[in-house]
Structure 1
């Protein structure tokens, strides 16, 4: 029996990488998925690949509060409600903190933090009307140890960890479970833009299992967290990292 049959889910940054893997896994389990992404061609192509016509593309800049609300409201109205929100959208840029351009820092904060705020604001009323639901924020193992030149990225992910705990308490009374996933290094187009082949080799060598997690494994973990099997899990940041966190940098 499909775990998400009849459910409606929103995934931000779903045009590729981890966001797409999560959306695809949800659709395989019977959910209709709103896929929000700023890249029009990519998100439309990604939505078309989901089974059963259950992918719904929304070309959306998550830093635009009105656009996010419009997309989520439209999807929830068409689906008769909303059950799940996954805040995955992120911008990658690694550089020494002293060299980070102001416009890049602003954009990273707008996407990573404001984008999450706006999606939560838009989705929460629909989740409450549904009588409960699930939210997943995408954190990172970069919160647990220092990653070279990732000060801004790591700070954003640390903020999302704090937000996860805060919202788990605030929304729990409404039957809304808020958790986070903290992937280890995962080879995606975004990650590949800031990690070179030598960096990937070094990360794999540090990992106890001597392998890196895949986007599909992150999708499987997301499915678990939003399913009834995780009904008592709230305020948790679940690491999917092949053990790299316990091994240390």
Structure 2
């Protein structure tokens, strides 16, 4: 899968509304991720500290102030991220995704994934949490080695079990097809995917780049509802401006 990680940007705390309920992870479904391979990283400073009896992971995050004798946490990419959602901030990149139609990610699902999801290491994105709910996998990429506190870098959804998703009360057929089309476009951004678009029905436009996209059964493309352009790959979408939109939109 192509990397979807964005820049860190300014970050704001994960709000109090992000812990609405706890949801157990579906480990078996999450393990079906073909593009994510679990790894066993070498023992890190954090793990050595844990074996020595230091269990308070929140103490690993301190402001770095060399002029006042502040101490860096000196965390490395191999250190597993913490599972306390209240410690995480949101990057600008991820905040933008929360506002886009067809993303199906929220602060609640981010909190649930961090707290209960399966943790995996990916060589492209780094640490990611994966949680399956109602046949849909929520993937949350986090980072904490370049900031003074852990951050949610990005997140997306995938169809883990289509039949389960269609049976779940929280999704309808358009939701499931939207998630499937968006994920397919992102998996190989430069590759046209007409056969994966053709069977889908997306009547509520979702956003990619500057375009609001939809498709109907039998169409081998997604179509922008604003400018009318047709696309078969994500690269085609993101490389073309929408003629009906002003530069500020």
TM-score band w.r.t. shorter chain: under 0.3
Larger Rg: 2
- Given the two structures, how large is their TM-score scaled by the length of structure 2? 0.27
TM-score, L = length of structure 1: 0.27
